[in-house]
């Protein structure tokens, strides 16, 4: 965020009338699924803990709600569950307004982060609790005793809990507890399954397996699943629909690939993806198709104002920069308009400032600062000229990794460049409008 530079007015390509919150709206969503309208919830803080003008979660989708801690995602889930009463607005589940209904009558089930098993009941009784209550409340229409036991047996078999039915929660491992919590939730065949960070209490190995199990379960049950997480990897990998939240608002929603490819603003851009997207504040030169910043030069296919240039670390092509390649700044390039006077931007020009590329794209010069080996690849963090400007490039292999301190050049192809408004951080131009993709 240190890139944010005070400028006068945003570029003309932006559409300032579009509220980020409205990006959440899914055009033509059926009344099935979950619809939040005008939901607000405040805990007395300076801003609302939750402020969602409209959010539609399609029926049958595996929707992942992601955001940093305190962004309101868990509050939103609890509002859907009925554990929290919103200050205003309404919740529709499968077309029915459930805003005033108690949690048990909404047709939703939930798996909690701490699993919330009843410590004094065996696994079997934990799972059957809801069904037994239903039988008690409705002696005629409720489930019969043999139906309850067969449903519990089914779900135990499905989740591999058959051997553990007589145990108490205190005698189970974390993964087993998680499965009991899941079994208790799905045994009632809920139309909506809510998962509140169900994997965060598991260790890394177990989490990978549990993730796959959840996805498989959703494929078999075909109900609407809403999973809340702060883990951006879970967010991208598990869902068919992704909702990104920040500061109580929905910032963007859509298929994970679309959200990742066309982040609606700099928050989404830097929150999803690891390492996060690199952002650079740049100034246009000439007709606006050439942009420069410290240690950076870019050529765009179309003109832009003063913007934030973004690129994902995996999209950069790293090349070692020999001393002979580190040519002087401002070398005229064929097809380019005028030589770029970099001295105007970041102090005196240095050897190592990149030339404006001939093809559309970004060229950055920097010095390797940190090299992180991640197993499959390597993340190289580089420092550009100027005041501690950093950017990261991920390399697929582990060969040809530059040494720390080596001067390097990174090229980013034009189609991988993201543009954001310097003031609002909203995405400009390139790519479909947020939310326009539909589901």
Partner 1 sequence: MSSASEIAPASPPRDGTSGPRDTVTGPSPGRRPGSRRARRAVGTAGHHAFLLVAVAVMVLPVLWALATSFKTAGGVFDENPLPLPPTLDNYRVATQDFPVWRLLLNTTVMSAGVTLLQLLIAVPAAYALVRFPPRAHRAVTAIVAITLLVPPQSLVIPLFLMISHLGWRNTLPGLILPQLFGTGLAVILLRDHVRAVSPTILGAAALDGARPFEVLRLVLLPILRPALGAVSILLFITAWNEYLWPVLAAPDIDHATIQPGLAFFLTQEGPEYGPLLAGSMLATLPIVVVYFLASRRVTDAFMHSGLR
List of residues contacting partner 1 (CB under 8 A): 78, 81-83, 102-105, 108-110, 112-114, 116-120, 129-130, 133-134, 137, 184, 188
Between 188 and 418, CB nearer to partner 1 = 188
Handedness of CA 344, 349, 354, 356 (dihedral sign): positive
Minimum CB distance to partner 1, residue 120 (Å): 4
Q: Which residue number, 194 or 279, has a Cβ lying nearer to partner 1?
A: 194
> Is the CB of 128 or the CB of 241 nearer to partner 1?
128
CB of 232 to partner 1, least distance (A): 24
CB of 119 to partner 1, least distance (A): 6
Nearest-angstrom CA–CA distance, 361 and 299 = 5
* Overall residue count recorded for the chain in this entry: 439
C-beta of 10 vs 202, nearer to partner 1: 202
203 vs 193: CA distance, rounded Å: 23
Distance between CA atoms of 224 and 77, rounded to whole angstroms? Answer: 13
What are residue 178's phi and psi, to 5 degrees?
-60, -40
- Give the nearer residue to partner 1 in terms of CB position, either 196 or 421: 196
Query: Using CA atoms, how far apart are residues 218 and 212, in angstroms rounded to an integer?
Result: 10
What's the closest the beta carbon of residue 184 comes to partner 1, in angstroms? 7
Token pair of 415 as six digits: 């189609």
Provide the minimum distance between the beta carbon of 110 and partner 1 in the complex, in angstroms, as a whole number.
5
* Minimal distance, residue 35 CB to partner 1, in Å: 20
Closer to partner 1 at the Cβ: 113 or 283?
Answer: 113
Residue 118 Cβ, how far from partner 1 at the closest point, in Å? Answer: 6
Number of Cβ within 10 Å of residue 170's Cβ equals 9
Rounded Cα distance between 183 and 115, Å, is 11
How many whole angstroms from its chain centre is CA 57? 16
If the CB atoms of residues 127 and 428 are measured against partner 1, the closer one turns out to be: 127
Distance (Å, whole) CA 250 – CA 245: 4
Cα 316 off chain centre by: 21
Minimum distance from CB of 178 to partner 1 (Å)? 13
For partner 1, give the closer residue by CB, 78 or 207: 78
Q: What is the DSSP string of 124-176?
A: HHHHHHHHHHHHHH-TTTSPPHHHHHHHHHHHHHHTT-GGGTT--GGGS-HHH
Q: Compute the Cα dihedral for 127, 179, 152, 33 and give only its sign.
A: positive
């Amino acid at each position: 965020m240190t890139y944010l530079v005070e400028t006068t007015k945003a570029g003309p390509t932006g559409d300032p009338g579009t509220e980020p919150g409205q990006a959440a709206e899914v055009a033509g969503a059926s009344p099935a699924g979950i619809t939040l309208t005008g939901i607000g919830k405040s805990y007395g803080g300076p801003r609302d803990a939750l402020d969602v003008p409209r959010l539609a979660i399609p029926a049958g989708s595996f929707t992942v709600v992601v955001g940093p801690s305190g962004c309101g995602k868990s509050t939103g889930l609890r509002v859907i569950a009925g554990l929290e009463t919103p200050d205003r607005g309404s919740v529709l589940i499968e077309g029915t307004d459930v805003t005033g209904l108690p949690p048990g009558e909404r047709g939703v089930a939930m798996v909690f982060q701490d699993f919330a098993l009843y410590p004094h009941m065996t696994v079997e009784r934990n799972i059957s609790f809801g069904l037994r209550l239903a039988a008690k409340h409705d002696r005629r229409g409720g489930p019969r005793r043999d139906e309850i036991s067969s449903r519990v047996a089914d779900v135990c078999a499905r989740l591999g809990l058959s051997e553990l039915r007589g145990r108490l929660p205190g005698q189970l491992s974390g993964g087993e507890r998680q499965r009991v919590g899941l079994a208790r939730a799905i045994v009632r065949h809920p139309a909506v399954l809510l998962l509140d960070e169900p994997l965060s209490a598991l260790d890394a190995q177990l989490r990978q397996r549990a993730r796959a199990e959840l996805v498989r379960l959703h494929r078999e049950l075909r109900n609407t699943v809403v999973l809340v997480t702060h883990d951006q990897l879970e967010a991208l990998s598990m869902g068919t629909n992704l909702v990104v939240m920040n500061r109580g608002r929905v910032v963007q929603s859509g298929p994970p690939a679309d959200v990742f490819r066309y982040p609606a603003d700099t928050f989404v851009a830097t929150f999803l993806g690891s390492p996060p997207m690199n952002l650079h504040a740049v100034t246009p030169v000439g007709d606006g198709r050439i942009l420069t910043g410290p240690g950076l030069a870019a050529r765009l296919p179309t003109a832009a104002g003063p913007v934030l240039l973004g690129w994902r670390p995996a999209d950069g092509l790293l090349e070692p920069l020999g001393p002979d390649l580190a040519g002087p700044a401002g070398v005229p390039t064929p097809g380019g308009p005028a030589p770029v006077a970099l001295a105007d931007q970041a102090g005196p020009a240095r050897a190592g400032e990149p030339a404006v590329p001939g093809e559309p794209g970004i060229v950055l010069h920097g010095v390797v600062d940190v090299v992180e080996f991640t197993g499959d690849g390597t993340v190289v963090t580089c420092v550009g000229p100027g005041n501690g400007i950093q950017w990261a490039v991920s390399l697929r292999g582990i060969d040809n990794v530059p040494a720390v301190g080596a001067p390097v050049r990174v090229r980013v192809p034009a189609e991988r460049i993201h543009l954001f408004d310097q003031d609002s951080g909203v995405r400009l131009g390139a790519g479909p409008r947020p939310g326009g993709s539909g589901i």
